[in-house]
Structures are given as structure tokens and as C-alpha cells.
Structure 1
Amino acid sequence: MLTENRFQFAKSAALDEVMLLKASMSDFSYGTHAHEEFSFGVTLSGRQDFFALGEYHKSHAGNVIVFNPEDAHDGHSGGESTLHYKMLYIHPDQLVPMLESAGVHQAKSFRVGKVLQDDAQLRSHILGLAGLVENNVSSLEYSSALYEFAECLAHKERLKTDTTTRIKDPVFERVRDYLHSHVTEEVSLDELSQVAQMSKYHLLRRFRDYFGMTPHQYWQNYRINRAKEALELGMSLADVAFTFGFSDLSYFNRRFKPVFGITPYQFRRNLLRT
């Protein structure tokens, strides 16, 4: 018998921009999306199958998964066993200062070079940090643990940092800025092609190569992330849906669930219990 899909979010009481997801999945599939945080996960049991950075990956029990901010990916349970995993989301505003203190030059451009790893040290740090979120420890204890994690990342990635930094394309950075500034409005492909100064069809192909998502997927993903932040701040479901351009709560639910596994109402209720 398949286990019910379960997604439980918890926020760090000590650091506001850190969130933990504990998930069990049997027949749920994430849609293609990206997070604005660094995502550090550990597959606890079962198998986690996903597509990211142009490749298909299979994460077995004990493996570490790392998504840099804006790394587009999907995901589902692979094989017959239920997938259990923990994922820690750490905003760059929390991690970058720690990386700078650990000696990383150009820490704002820091990226972990390998999405799937079998690394006992990283696994230990991630699960240790997850335990601190679950147990609501003091700010000092959590900050110390996060710094030790940043030191570990810096040491492992030091020789690869320069080669893993994505070269920014000013054309697509401009298109992204336009989408961000029109988050509450309808945006057409014609508008974006004018911003990029290229044909619509050329833009579609080049944008997807650059971001891993179509312009529409990227725009929807950005709106969902802004909506999630608003829910965390206590805005009502109806106000969030209206503010970020979702026609009604049903449509908001259909867009939110493929990214976070649960409805907006369930997400906010999760946070209120922690």
C-alpha cells in the first residue's frame, strides 16, 4: 500500500530566512520550478528522481542533493519504495556573509558545482542543521552551526568556485528584471521580445537555455515565490491570490501545489504549528 504524500515545513526560530521541509512521497511529482534559496537535501530512504542542469539524476538513500538559487528542477519518487527526504532552504542573505567569513572571494556568486553527491560530511551538516530547526535552538547555536557548514562548503568548493560561476547575459538579466517588475500584471511574449530585442521564437529558445524554464514558467515561479513570502508574513489567502495575479483561490492552489507539495492554506497552517 502506498504511503500518503506528506510535506511538512518548519521555519528556524533563530534565523528567519531558513526553512526545513520534511517530505514523504509515493505518487507525487513536482513541476519544473526553482527556489531563490540554496537548497540542501538528504535522501533518507527510497529513491529521488529529478531533472536538473540538463541531466536526469537518481538520488539513493544517503545521497546529498544541492540546488543553487534559480536552478530549475523537478522531482518525483523513483522505484517502488516510498521516498523520504529532508531539504533545508537557506537564503543567500544568510549564507553569503558566512561564506565571506569563511574566506570565499566573490561569495555572492558562489555556486555548488555538483547537484548530486555522496558526501558523508555534507550529509552530517545538513541533517544537523535540520535537527536544530526542528528543536528551536538558540540563535547563537544555530549561527555557529551554519558557519561551520559554510566553512565546509567553502573548503570543498574553493578550487571550483571560479569555474562554476554562471556568466551573466545582460539581455536575459534585463528580461528577468522586467518580469520581476511586472509580477502582479499579465505579461506578453511580444513585450518580452521587445525588451530582449529579438524574435519571440529565438527568445523562447534562448531564455529556456539560460534559465532552464520558459518565460511563462519563470514568471509563474517568481509569482509563487512572492506569494509564499506573503503567506509567511500573514497575508490572507484571498489577498495573496489577488495581489499576485491569480484569478481565484482554486487557480492559486493549482499553481502552488506542484512547487511545494501542499496547498497555500496547508503551507500557512504548517508554519503556524511550528
Structure 2
Amino acid sequence: MQGVPEQFLHPADAAEFRRPAHRQGVELYRAHIVRHAFEPHTHEAFGLGAIASGVERFRYRGTEHLAPADSLVLMNPDELHTGRAETAGGWRYRMLYLDAPLLAELAGEPGWWFDAAVLHDPLLARRLGGTLAALWQVSDPLAFDGLLLDLVQALRPHARIGRPARPEGEARFDRVIDYLHAHLAQPLTLDMLAGVAGLSPFHFLRRFKSAHGATPHQMLMALRLFDAKRRLAAGERAADVAAAVGLADQAHLTRAFASRYGVTPARYARQVA
């Protein structure tokens, strides 16, 4: 991809993904971020992570959070979030992205969710940080699955069961999210989305941003880039992916992908192959 760097602009920034070949629904991520600021993005999976050093600042569910060293980050699926360093030396962390059906199988119960985005428990954070590190190293599939179970069981005391309460009227935006999913590659307007929600355009814009902490365009881009991530992992060519998700070209995909996931599409595809 001519003109697009394979690495971050700052030499200290680095990120890497991995997917185990034997177990669908699992993605591992580790990074050291100093200068990069992640644009709003989402994962259709639980994001379970440990901060090893530094402090991360991120926006999640409309609120700013700080995650210092020896804390855990616990994100529910489909929630937009950002991320940037709060300290001069950046922050170093590991994440496990676990699909909800797989988490339910591991836990033996469906309906998990977390009400605290940041859990301040140094002992547990160091323990699970070690588990996340071991998941990167282990080559035995049986041992890998055992480590997954250990991690999920350790988080059980901090999980809630059942759907969290939603603000009155927010459910109408589910139709809008479904519409965005179904029309990722098409040009969309505020009037079109407001019509789906049954609101006037700018009333819809205010209400949507209040409910999701992001504008409809930011949500659309997050959904486009998540779909791009899924397609790249399945082996689709970057140029085809860009067209399929409604981006202008491969260079647009590369810029947008790197700003949300910390690696270029080409590097991501190689890492998870």
C-alpha cells in the first residue's frame, strides 16, 4: 500500500493481534501505545484486559474512564469506545476479545455483562495479566482452553447476569443500528436515519449522541471497520473489503483501520492468518 506506513508514526507505539487456530470466537491483542489515539470503534465481543503499566484514558458508554497499571478493563460487546495515553510513557496492556456465546459456554450461564468498565484490583489484575500472557505463549490447544476457563471463572464475581437497564426510549435506536448494519456500503443521510427512528433530524442527532456517546457517522464508521476486520480475518483482499464496507478505496481503509485498531489491514491479516 504505497504511502501508508506499516508501523505507527511514533516508534514506541506497537500493537499485535493473534487468533488461535483451534478455537473460534477468541482474539488476543497486546500493545504499547504512547502517541496513538484510537478513534471510536467497537467489537462484537467482550473485551477483557489488564493494564501492565502506564494509564489509559478512554471514553465508553458516554463517560471518560482512567485505567491505571494493575487494573482490569471490562467491556461489553458492541459498545463504542476510544483510547489514548494519559501518561507520558503511554500504557502497556493485553486484551482478550471473547465472543458472547463462547463466554456463555465457558461460564456455564448466559447473559453476562459488566457494569464497571475499570476494575481496580491489583492482585486480580496481575493474575489475569499473567493468564493473558500465557495465552500468547501456549501452543497446546487443551492448555489454551484451560487458561480461558481460569480467566472467565476469575471474573465471575464481577459479572452481572441479565440485560442491563436501558434508558427509556433508547430501544428505538436499535432500529437505526440494524439499518446501519444493513446499509454499510451505501451513502446515508441524517434525514434517512432520523426517519428510521421516527424523529426530526437534529432531535434524532442529539438523542443518538446522548445514547451512544457518538454521532451516527462515528457509529457507521465503527461498524464499517469492524466488518472490515471480520472480512480481512476471513482472507478477503483489502481492496475488495474497502468496496464492500463503503470506503472510498484501499488507502481510506488503511487509514481508518489503523486509527481504530492500531495496525494496518495488511499487518492484521498476516497476524491472524
TM range (shorter): 0.7 to 0.9
**Structure 1 pair 3/42, CA: closer, same or farther in 2 (3 Å)?**
farther
CA–CA distance in structure 2, aligned partners of residues 134 and 189 of structure 1: 47
Which residue does the alignment assign to 1:68?
Answer: 76
Map 1:20-169; keep pairs closer than 5 Å.
20-99=28-107, 101=108, 104=109, 107-108=110-111, 110-119=112-121, 120-121=123-124, 123-138=126-141, 140-157=142-159, 160-161=160-161, 164-166=164-166, 169=170
State the percentage of identical aligned residues. 29
In 2, Cα distance between equivalents of 1:38 and 1:28: 23
Letter of the 1:121 partner, please give it.
L
Q: What is the identity, as a one-letter code, of the residue corresponding to 1:155?
A: P
Could you tell me how far apart the structure 1 residues matched to 2:50 and 2:86 are? 15
Decide whether the 8 Å contact of 1:20 with 1:130 is kept in 2: no
1:248-263 → structure 2 map (5 Å cutoff): 248-263=249-264
- For 1:6, the equivalent position in structure 2 comes to 14
**1:246 aligned residue:** 247
2:70 is paired with a residue whose SS is coil
The answer for the alignment partner of 2:227 in structure 1 is 226
Cα 1:215/1:93, change in 2 over 3 Å: same
Instruction: Quote the Cα distance in structure 2 between the aligned partners of 1:126 and 1:40.
Output: 10
* Matched-pair contact (CA < 8 Å) for 1:10–1:134: no
Kept in 2, the 8 Å contact 1:5–1:25? The answer is yes
After superposition, the Cα gap between the structure-2 partners of 1:58 and 1:3, relative to the gap in structure 1 and judged at 3 Å, is farther
Change (3 A) 1:247 1:75: same
Shift of 1:247: 1.2
Q: How far off its partner does 1:183 sit?
A: 1.7
Amino acid at match of 1:223: R
Q: Deviations over 1:222-246 (max 9, x none)?
A: 1111110110011111111111111
2-structure distance, mates of 1:193, 1:114? 31
Q: Compute the RMSD of aligned alpha carbons.
A: 2.1
CA distance in 1, matches of 2:47, 2:133: 12
2:269 aligns with 268
AA of the residue aligned to 2:62:
G
Consecutive unaligned residues in structure 2, runs of 5 or more: 1-9
Q: Is the 8 A contact 1:10 1:271 kept in 2?
A: yes
Structure 2: how far apart are the matches of 1:57 and 1:201? 28
CA offsets, 1:44-78, max 9 Å, x none? 11221222233322222111111111222211112
The yes-or-no answer on 1:181 pairing with 2:157 is no
SS of alignment partner, residue 185 of structure 1:
coil
The Cα shift of 1:164 comes to 3.8
Q: Which amino acid aligns with 1:77?
A: A
One-letter code aligned to 2:76: N
The alignment partner of 1:176 has SS state of helix
- SS of the residue corresponding to residue 203 of structure 1 reads helix
Under a length normalisation based on structure 2, what TM-score does the superposition of the two structures give?
0.87
How far apart, in 2, do the equivalents of 1:240 and 1:200 lie?
Answer: 30
SS of 1:46's partner is strand
Structure 1 residue 163: deviation in Å? 8.0
Counterpart Cα distance in 1 of 2:96 and 2:217 = 27
Report the TM-score, using the length of structure 1 for normalisation. 0.87
Label 1:123 to 1:35 Cα distance change in 2 as closer, same or farther (>3 A).
farther
Instruction: State the partner residue of 2:5.
Output: none
What pairs up with 1:208-219 in 2 under 5 angstroms?
208-219=209-220
CA distance in 2, matches of 1:141, 1:32: 34
What letter is aligned with 1:141? A
Q: Distance in 2 between matches of 1:12 and 1:131?
A: 13
